[in-house]
Amino acid sequence: MPGAAVLVETPVIERVLAAALRRGGDFAELFAEDRRSTSAVLDDGKVEELSTGRDRGAGVRVVVGETTGYAHTADLSEAGLLAAADAAAAVARQGGDGARVVGLEGSWPARPNEVVVFPEGVPKATKIELLARADAAARSAGSAVSQVSAAYGDSRRRILVANSDGVLTSDDQVKTRFSVSVVAMGDTGMQTGYETEARTVGFELFDLVDVEEVAATAAGRALSKLLARPAPSGELPVVLASGSGGILFHEACGHGLEADHIAKDVSVYARQVGEQVASPLVTLVDDGTVGPEWGSFAVDDEGHPAQRNVLIENGILTDYLWDYLRARKEKRQSSGNGRRQSYRHLPMVRMTNTFLLNGTEDPAELLAQTPSGVFVAKLGGGQVNTATGDFVFGTTEAYLIENGRITEPLRDANLIGNGPEILRRIDAVANDFAMGPGTCGKDGQSVPVGCGQATLRITGVTIGGTSGE
Amino acid sequence: MSELLELAERIAGQAAKGEQIEAYASRGEETDVRAYEGEVESLTSAASAGVGVRVIVDGRQGFAYAGSLEEEVIRETLAEARDNAGFATPDEHVGLPGPDGRAPATMDLWDDELVAMPTATKVELALELERRVRSGDRRVRQVASADYGDIAGESAVATSTGISASSRRTICSLSVSAVAGTGSDSHTGVGFSAGRGPADLDSDRAATDATERAVRLLGATKARSGRCVVVFDARVTSTLLAVLSSAFSGEAVTKGRSIFADRIGQEVAVAGVTLVDDPTDRRAFGAASHDAEGLACRRNVLVDGGVLAGFVFDTTSARRSGTASTASAVRGGYSSTPSAGCRALALTPGALDATEILAAVDEGLFVQSITGVHSGVNPVSGDFSVGAEGLLIRGGVLAEPVREVTIASTLPRMFLSVLHIGSDQEWLPGLAAGQTLAIDAMTLSGS
């Protein structure tokens, strides 16, 4: 049994689950978590602080009919867990017979990839040293660079999940990230540039990623925008660079495919399985098993193994994303998408790594065949209203396309569109697939996700700049 | 003295010679209830506690935190913070404040009635809220969420430099999201009500707001692109002020990350704009007797009659710019270090209320809600571009509904283009008060 399981001994788990169902109930679950994290920030040329933290606790969930009770505690002793079980069981009104026995059967899926260097074994000074290298690289990118901030972070999150269906499992999730943020100052004021690398790996991230390159990319973004003109206002063709725009699918349809929105009929994709919801060029996958990507794990926060789910195939909607609760109602299996920010939170249907599969076109050709429009080299964050399908996302590096060529840089702007409409307007997908990390927020909970896509073209998106066409 | 403050003092008291220690401890209890189709969808009850420790030696700061108040864990946390301090770059400006002689405002932010309220009553509040929306306007076809939530929290900060402060607060809220219409003509409206205790909650207003906001968008279309006057709903103004607040952070200013750096004494807005951050106003949700470093909170004027008057500082950023802390240290709980920030921003109200502003504007766009604030508003470059929905203003009154458009400008230009600041000021959850705000010459991108 892997290390995480010792968070709570098996006989204690059995007694806690029994206590949770003492007053009746259809389902009980214990989720325990032990997270250690390190972060270091360099700003204004100085290492400002090195911070380490530890959070440990457990949550007990009891489901009775349509009602879920949840209570959590930082006290992992049997008494603490029993008190949480009692509080969660308060939603069970019918009064059970207290005789239910839970037989647990352990299963221990392997990590999507092996961790080579556990960050806790790396000297703090080695982590700090990365920051100074990034700072120097960003500052040497141009004399207009006026401020640099670099951040390092690692975390190790051990979880244990056990439930009254007999599930007993654990995961040990190691993540490492590095980001650089740059301000450049020019005649037209200040501009910002940001770049981040984040993966579900240990300190070997830095064998794969060069921090100087991360810094140079961030600096390049800020510097190029010093010469930028205001973004246009109105509807134009948009070409999204490979790996830069996966967030588009996360917002434009990913959230709308989450079964909780479907069950409440507050998604534009409800009752659309089997229908053509996107251009035939679109095959969309959510996959928590993709090796080192930011949204990967071995088991989700309900104890279900990560899996690959095809959501849209050649433009036809094939399935939604499911957690335990929504799946149970539909008498089907979870798709491994039950996730939570921490033991303090109820699990919800969430994405993992969501991406559009590769197309066949040459990316340079695709661009050359776009007479005019906007080339988005990097997208920032986005937001969607699942009920209407309307979403926005911001550009952080974008250029004008004129006569099939990238010309002038543009200042940051938001793009706005309607999910189903935008999916139908994708008329070209290239063969240069790439992925990137993101943080997804839903109902106040944040979880790490991956997003990916190849270079692609959308025939028309509304661009929220200030300049007339 | 509270147990929590005693604990913080005990940690701070362990400072060795040449070492400064700050301990910040907090704990809270919260309940959340979500109703759906007349049933309780979920009921969460939770208690959490934790401690964050800063250690400063020779201008080097280290930090560690733990989500526990157990003695052994606290010992480990202090040791970690001490170890971490050795890795920072020495900075003469880094240090803890000492008492500055200012007396804290007396503020009662705690409601005993809320603490005593049984869970069953909280459940009934959530159910009642959902019922109100469902049984109201027939055009509302779904209630996406109907929530009751509350928190009762206490925090304490003590330092080896003589700071010792603690406070406690309660907050409770009702919020509901209504969906009107079907298919591609679906629209959502959010309503809420919040306060220190149950007596402040207005379920009817939350339900009515959610319903009205969803229903009035039925039939919405894209508006024509062009320049126009934009009137922001009070809630949107509150969101905008909160985003803008980082430009007034002394830390952002000293590090060259604010559009307002080096502009003190200059005209940055029209003469009618006076912006104040006053955490001693107890009506504000961010009201506090002490800041996150334990200094007595005070009123800070940021813009006075259109002229940039000041910034907000915590101790370190103040020392960097050769001034004193404005008692504006904020922190996101025990797991983060303090930084400079606003708590209770408000624009001085103007003469006209919302209806009068619409009448005065005559033609333009009324914005009910915005999206993409974090991706589209950049307080460093000043670029502003957000998604918006609302209603056209025609002949001084609200007309056709509008969706899927963006509005854009730059923050400096918007400050200089303020036409009206509403007299309808209202404190809302978050960092800033809400009030209707009209801004000239924004670019609308639509069809």
Three state DSSP letters for chain B: CCHHHHHHHHHHCCCCCCEEEEEEEEEEEEEEEEEECCEEEEEEEEEEEEEEEEEEECCEEEEEEECCCCHHHHHHHHHHHHHHHCCCCCCCCCCCCCCCCCCCCCCCCCCHHHHHCCHHHHHHHHHHHHHHHHCCCCCEEEEEEEEEEEEEEEEEEEECCCCEEEEEEEEEEEEEEEEECCHHHCEEEEEEEEECCHHHCCHHHHHHHHHHHHHCCCCCECCCCEEEEEEECHHHHHHHHHHHHHHHEHHHHHCCCCCCCCCCCCECCCCCCCEEECCCCCCCCCCCCECCCCCECCCEEEEECCEECCCECCHHHHHHCCCCCCCCEECCCCCCCCEECCCCEEECCCCCCHHHHHHHHCCEEEEEEEECHHHHECCCCCEEEEEEEEEEEECCEEEEEEEEEEEEEEHHHHHCCEEEECCCCEECCCCEEECCEEEEEEEEECC
- Terminal Cα distance for chain B, rounded: 63
Contacting residues for A114 by C-beta, under 8 A, at least 6 apart: none
Q: What is the pLDDT of residues A186-208, one digit of tens each?
A: 988 999 999 999 999 999 999 99
| Overall average pLDDT of the A95-102 stretch | 57
- What is the residue-averaged pLDDT of chain B? 96
B187–chain A Cβ distance below 8 A for any pair: yes
Q: Which residues of B touch A69 (CB under 8 A)?
A: 42-44
Over 70: is that where the pLDDT of B41 sits? Answer: yes
Q: Choose from A233, A396, A467 for mutation: most chain B CBs within 10 A.
A: A233
CA distance B205 to chain A (A): 22
Write the ipTM.
Answer: 0.92
Over 60: is that where the pLDDT of A336 sits? Answer: yes
pLDDT, position B182: 82
Over 60: is that where the pLDDT of A2 sits? Answer: no
A385–chain B Cβ distance below 8 A for any pair: yes
Ranges of beta strands (E only) in A164-251 are 167-186, 189-199, 233-240
CA distance A244 to A377: 6
pLDDT tier at A436, thresholds 50, 70, 90: very high
pLDDT, position A1: 47
pLDDT tier at A382, thresholds 50, 70, 90: confident
Q: What is the pLDDT of residues B357-373, one digit of tens each?
A: 999 999 999 999 999 99
Over 70: is that where the pLDDT of B59 sits? Answer: yes
Contacting residues for B443 by C-beta, under 8 A, at least 6 apart: A233, A464, A465, A466, B225, B226, B227, B407, B408, B409
Q: Which residues of B touch A56 (CB under 8 A)?
A: 67-68
Q: What is the pLDDT of residues A397-414, one digit of tens each?
A: 999 999 999 999 999 999
pLDDT tier at A5, thresholds 50, 70, 90: very low
Contact B376 A392 (CB under 8 A): yes
A229–chain B Cβ distance below 8 A for any pair: no
Least confident residue range of A2-11, B45-54, B374-383, B422-431: A2-11
Contact A190 B89 (CB under 8 A): no
Q: Can you read off the two tokens belonging to residue B339?
A: 């930084």
Q: Classify A28 as helix, strand or coil.
A: strand
pLDDT, position A175: 97
Instruction: Give the nearest chain B residue to A73 (CA atoms).
Output: B47
Over 70: is that where the pLDDT of B15 sits? Answer: yes
CA distance B331 to chain A (A): 14
pLDDT, position A101: 66
Contact B381 A192 (CB under 8 A): yes
Handedness of CA A118, A120, A125, A127 (dihedral sign): positive
Question: What does the DSSP assignment read for A70-135?
Answer: EEEES--SHHHHHHHHHHHHTT--S---S------EE--PPPSS--SS-GGGS-HHHHHHHHHHHH
Contact A66 B37 (CB under 8 A): yes
Contact B66 A55 (CB under 8 A): yes
pLDDT, position B195: 97
Contact B375 A382 (CB under 8 A): yes
B51–chain A Cβ distance below 8 A for any pair: no
Contacting residues for B116 by C-beta, under 8 A, at least 6 apart: none
Give the one of A40, A146, A389 whose C-beta lies nearest to B256's C-beta: A146
Percent of chain A past pLDDT 90, that is, above it, reads: 83
Percent of chain B past pLDDT 90, that is, above it, reads: 96
Specify the residue for token string 């030696």.
B57
B151–chain A Cβ distance below 8 A for any pair: no
| Overall average pLDDT of the B423-431 stretch | 96
B417–chain A Cβ distance below 8 A for any pair: no
A264–chain B Cβ distance below 8 A for any pair: yes
pLDDT tier at B46, thresholds 50, 70, 90: confident
CA distance B362 to chain A (A): 23
Contact B404 A417 (CB under 8 A): yes
Contact B376 A185 (CB under 8 A): no
pLDDT tier at A4, thresholds 50, 70, 90: very low
pLDDT, position A389: 87
CA distance B319 to chain A (A): 15
| Overall average pLDDT of the A369-375 stretch | 96
Q: What is the pLDDT of residues A101-145, one digit of tens each?
A: 677 888 888 887 889 999 999 999 999 999 999 999 999 999 999
Whether the Cβ atoms of residue A454 and residue A429 lie closer than 8 Å to each other = yes
Q: Where, residue-wise, is CATH 3.30.2290.10 in chain B?
A: 3-215
CA distance B363 to A319: 46
Per the DSSP assignment, residues forming a β-bridge with A354 are: A286, A451
Contact A124 B83 (CB under 8 A): yes
Contact A464 B445 (CB under 8 A): yes
pLDDT tier at A384, thresholds 50, 70, 90: confident
Contacting residues for B71 by C-beta, under 8 A, at least 6 apart: none
A73–chain B Cβ distance below 8 A for any pair: yes
The values of phi and psi at residue B405, to 5°, are -120, 165
- What is the residue-averaged pLDDT of chain A? 93
pLDDT tier at A3, thresholds 50, 70, 90: very low
pLDDT, position A251: 85
CA distance A64 to chain B (A): 10
CA distance B290 to chain A (A): 24
B409–chain A Cβ distance below 8 A for any pair: yes
Contact A55 B42 (CB under 8 A): no
Over 80: is that where the pLDDT of A93 sits? Answer: no
- Which residues of A, range 352-381, sit inside 8 Å of B by Cβ? 380-381
CA distance A452 to B354: 45
* Class at the top of the CATH hierarchy for domain B3-215: alpha beta
Question: What does the DSSP assignment read for A359-413?
Answer: -SB-HHHHHHT--EEEEEEEEEEEEE-TTT-EEEEEEEEEEEEETTEEEEEE---
B65–chain A Cβ distance below 8 A for any pair: yes
pLDDT, position B250: 96
Q: What is the pLDDT of residues A60-72, one digit of tens each?
A: 999 998 899 999 9
B92–chain A Cβ distance below 8 A for any pair: no
Give the one of A91, A235, A411 whose C-beta lies nearest to B40's C-beta: A91
Q: Can you read off the two tokens belonging to residue A450?
A: 């991956």
Q: Which residues of A touch B45 (CB under 8 A)?
A: 70-71, 87, 90
Domain residue extents for chain A: 3-36+53-106, 233-464
Instruction: Give the nearest chain B residue to A382 (CA atoms).
Output: B372
Q: Which residues of B touch A234 (CB under 8 A)?
A: 225, 445
Give the one of B36, B83, B372 whose C-beta lies nearest to A382's C-beta: B372
pLDDT tier at A94, thresholds 50, 70, 90: low
Least confident residue range of A244-253, A359-368, A450-459, B118-127: A244-253
A265–chain B Cβ distance below 8 A for any pair: yes
Give the one of B39, B67, B142 whose C-beta lies nearest to A264's C-beta: B142
Contact A388 B387 (CB under 8 A): no
Q: Which residues of B touch A74 (CB under 8 A)?
A: 48-50, 67-68
pLDDT tier at B278, thresholds 50, 70, 90: very high
* Nearest residue to B171 (alpha-carbon basis) of B277, B276, B287: B287
pLDDT tier at A99, thresholds 50, 70, 90: low
B253–chain A Cβ distance below 8 A for any pair: no
Contact A225 B381 (CB under 8 A): yes
Contact A392 B372 (CB under 8 A): yes
CA distance B21 to chain A (A): 14
For residue B168, is it left (φ>0), alpha (ψ between -120 and 50) or beta?
A: beta
Over 80: is that where the pLDDT of B318 sits? Answer: yes
Contacting residues for A10 by C-beta, under 8 A, at least 6 apart: A104, A106, A168
B135–chain A Cβ distance below 8 A for any pair: no
Contact A91 B409 (CB under 8 A): no
Using DSSP bridges, classify how beta strands B364-371 and B226-232 pair: parallel, antiparallel or unpaired.
Answer: parallel
B73–chain A Cβ distance below 8 A for any pair: yes
Give the one of A67, A69, A465 whose C-beta lies nearest to B408's C-beta: A465
* DSSP code at position A205: H
A121–chain B Cβ distance below 8 A for any pair: no
- Which residues of B, range 209-238, sit inside 8 Å of A by Cβ? 222, 225
Specify the residue for token string 């060795």.
B16
pLDDT, position B8: 98
